Amino acid sequence: MNFLSAKLKGRLQDFTLDAAFEIPASGITALFGPSGCGKTTILRCLAGLERLDGYVRLKDDVWQDQGYFRPPHKRAIGYVFQEASLFPHMTVKQNLSYGMANPDKVHLHETADLLGVRELLDRIPDRLSGGERQRVAIGRALLSKPDILLMDEPLSALDRAAKTAIIPYLERLHAGLSIPVLYVSHDHSEVERLADHMLVMDKGRVISNGPLDEMLTDCSLPLASSREATSILEAEITGFDDKNVISLLTVKGATLQVPGALGPVNSRCRLRIAASDVSLASTHPSQTTILNVLPARILAVHDLGNAQFNILCALGDEDGGRILARISRLSLARFGFETGQDIFVQIKGVSMV
Ligand SMILES: Nc1ncnc2c1ncn2[C@@H]1O[C@H](COP(=O)(O)OP(=O)(O)OP(=O)(O)O)[C@@H](O)[C@H]1O
């Protein structure tokens, strides 16, 4: 049972939470939804800070069930908030050591290196930037050896530059972390870069739950209808064309050509394709400068209720990587695209995230 499962139901004054979900007990799960939909309440229930009816189980460890409620201090949880709540009178090193049962220098230094705070160990929090404080808070949470890390909009108090600077640390963390992370965020680009899985909430309920690529391209969810709609594809760099400086990236159902040396052959990366950068053709266009014209099958046609449609395609056949295309009502009327049809997707822009 490699899952975190929960069913939580109850009222907090005017607000009703009625949420049930099962998510992988590894990787980063983004908890996404509009303000006030209950994201923080879910984290607080998992941490035992709020008690509603239902159950919480991490793998085969029961934290809450009918008649049983494990108190917060007996749940091995790392909690990172919007604003880092460090002890102001303690140095970074003392802050990091705080939750460690047996302060272990090697482990502390490894974590400090991972988060780039090794040089800051003797400073006090007052003398740190917002991004540095947040990295220390993450380090402190990890050093308590939690079974799960709960992060509530950890970057939202940072300005754009500090956010951009901290994300690579979170990506490194992601690669090396064996515990699950539940990550609350409103920010599309943060989620695209960090999450593997996504829980989408609305008005106290979980409205969808699945792998990130499927959630981002699910036409019934608000994410795919937004202006920022994108597809995410996990890719392997399978070749490099020296002469033309083109990397070959193999995804499920296709190989893409992307200008530039994107990394060593055999390494993996994540690609981002904006729905507005994808157009469709019913036959293979013979004269085009677009590098990636790929056979695909239409999985769904979704009316956005204005001048535009979302067309969800799978590269190759229906098992291939999912690509969302945003096309005009006029183009749909001209070409009459429909579900099940084999077509070509033309991808104008691919970026690595
Ligand atoms: N202890 C409480 N007592 C009464 N109402 C509460 C309590 N905690 C949360 N609420 C209400 O529950 C609703 C959900 O709050 P919550 O903080 O979980 O939302 P959220 O999705 O995390 O929002 P945001 O993205 O703005 O942080 C809100 O309407 C909030 O006012």
Residues 289 and 196 in one domain: no
- Which residue is closest in CA terms to ligand 1's atom 27? 35
Regarding the beta carbon of 36 and ligand 1, being less than 6 Å apart is answered yes
- The pLDDT of residue 83 is 84
Q: Which domain holds residue 276?
A: 230-352
Give the domain-ending residue among 190, 225, 260: 225
Q: Do both 317 and 291 map to the same domain? A: yes
pLDDT at 78: 93
Tell me: the pLDDT tens digits for 291-337? 999 999 999 999 999 899 999 999 998 899 999 999 999 999 999 99
Amino acid letter at 157? A
- Other Cβ atoms less than 10 A from the Cβ of 109: the count is 14
Evaluate: CB of 93 within 6 angstroms of ligand 1.
no
Q: Is there a single domain that holds both residue 243 and residue 329?
A: yes
Please give the distance, rounded to the nearest whole angstrom, from the Cα atom of residue 36 to the centre of ligand 1.
Answer: 5
111 and 58 housed in the same domain: yes
- Six token digits for residue 266: 């055999």
Contact 120, 91 (CB under 8 A): no
pLDDT at 99 over 80: no
Nearest to 247 by CA among 263, 235, 225: 263
Q: In the predicted model, is pLDDT for residue 232 greater than 90? A: yes
pLDDT tens column, 251-279? 999 999 999 999 999 999 999 999 999 99
255 shares its domain with 277: yes
Where residue 199 falls among pLDDT bands split at 50, 70, 90? very high
For residues 244 and 133, membership in a common domain is answered with no
Contact by Cβ (8 Å): 288, 335: no
| Interval 10-25: pLDDT, tens | 999 999 999 999 999 9
* Closest Cα to atom 24 of ligand 1: 35
Query: What pLDDT is recorded for position 6?
Result: 97
Question: What gap in Å lies between CA 50 and CA 182, rounded to an integer?
Answer: 17
pLDDT category, 158, cuts 50, 70, 90?
confident
34 lines ligand 1 (CB under 6 A): no
Distance CA 8, CA 163 (A): 32
Average pLDDT, the chain: 93
Among 176, 191, 225, identify where a domain stops.
225
CATH number of residue 109's parent domain: 3.40.50.300
Whether residue 165 is found in the same domain as residue 134: yes
**pLDDT confidence of residue 33:** 92
Residue 188 pLDDT: 86
> Confidence band (pLDDT; 50, 70, 90) for 189?
confident
Separation of 40 CA from ligand 1 center, angstroms? 7
Q: What is the mean pLDDT of residues 71-88?
A: 91
Using CA atoms, how far apart are residues 139 and 113, in angstroms rounded to an integer?
Answer: 10
Distance separating alpha carbons of residues 148 and 28, to the nearest angstrom: 10
Regarding the beta carbon of 52 and ligand 1, being less than 6 Å apart is answered no
165 — pLDDT class (breaks 50, 70, 90): confident
* pLDDT at position 314: 97
> Residue 37: which pLDDT band, with cuts at 50, 70 and 90?
very high
DSSP string, 267-331: -EEEEEEEGGGEEEESS--SS---SEEEEEEEEEEEE-SSSEEEEEEEESSTTS-EEEEEEEHHH
Quick one: pLDDT band at residue 42, thresholds 50, 70, 90? very high
Same domain, 200 and 250: no
Res 306: pLDDT: 86
Q: Which residue pairs from 128-131 have beta carbons closer than 8 angstroms and sit at least 24 positions apart in sequence? A: 128/92, 129/162, 130/84, 130/157, 130/158, 130/159, 130/162, 131/158, 131/162, 131/163, 131/165, 131/166
- Measure the CA–CA gap between 94 and 101, rounded to whole angstroms: 13
pLDDT band at 92 (very low <50, low <70, confident <90, very high): very high
**44 CB within 6 A, ligand 1:** no
Domain boundary among 225, 255, 280: 225
With H, G, I as helix, E, B as strand and everything else as coil, classify residue 69. strand
Percent residues over pLDDT 90 in the chain: 78
Number of structural domains, the chain?
A: 2
E strand or H helix at 208: strand 205-211
Can you give the pLDDT at residue 102?
Answer: 74
**pLDDT of amino acid 313:** 97
Closest by CA to 83, choosing from 162, 185, 158, 187, is: 158
Please report the pLDDT score of residue 176 as a whole number.
81
Phi then psi for 119, rounded to 5 degrees? Answer: -70, -15
19 burial class (0-12, 13-18, 19+ CB within 10 angstroms)? buried
Ligand 1 neighbourhood includes 134 CB (under 6 angstroms): no
Q: Please check whether residues 189 and 72 belong to one and the same domain.
A: yes
Q: Which atom of ligand 1 is closest in space to residue 13's alpha carbon?
A: 4
What is the phi/psi pair of residue 179, to 5°?
Answer: -95, 155
* Residue 264 sits in the same domain as residue 201: no
Is residue 221 domain-shared with residue 234, that is, in the same domain? no
Confirm if 275 and 303 have CB atoms less than 8 A apart.
no
Asked whether residue 198 falls in the same domain as residue 336, the answer is no
- 51, amino acid identity: R
Q: Is the pLDDT of residue 235 over 90?
A: yes
Q: Nearest Cα to 21, choosing from 185, 180, 194, 207? A: 207
CA distance 271 to 291: 15
In ligand 1, the atom with minimum distance to the C-alpha of 42 is 18
**pLDDT at residue 104, as a whole number:** 77
Q: Rounded CA gap, 220 and 214, in Å?
A: 11
CB atoms inside a 10 Å sphere around CB 310: 20
How confident is the model over 247-251, as a mean pLDDT? 97
- The structure's pTM equals 0.91
Residues in the chain: 353
Question: What does each C-alpha distance from 293 to 263, 290, 316, 322, 345 come to in angstroms?
Answer: 23, 7, 11, 15, 6
CATH of the domain at 248: 2.40.50.100
| Residues 163 and 155 sit within 8 Å (Cβ to Cβ) | yes
**Residue 162: band (very low, low, confident or very high) from pLDDT cuts 50, 70, 90:** confident
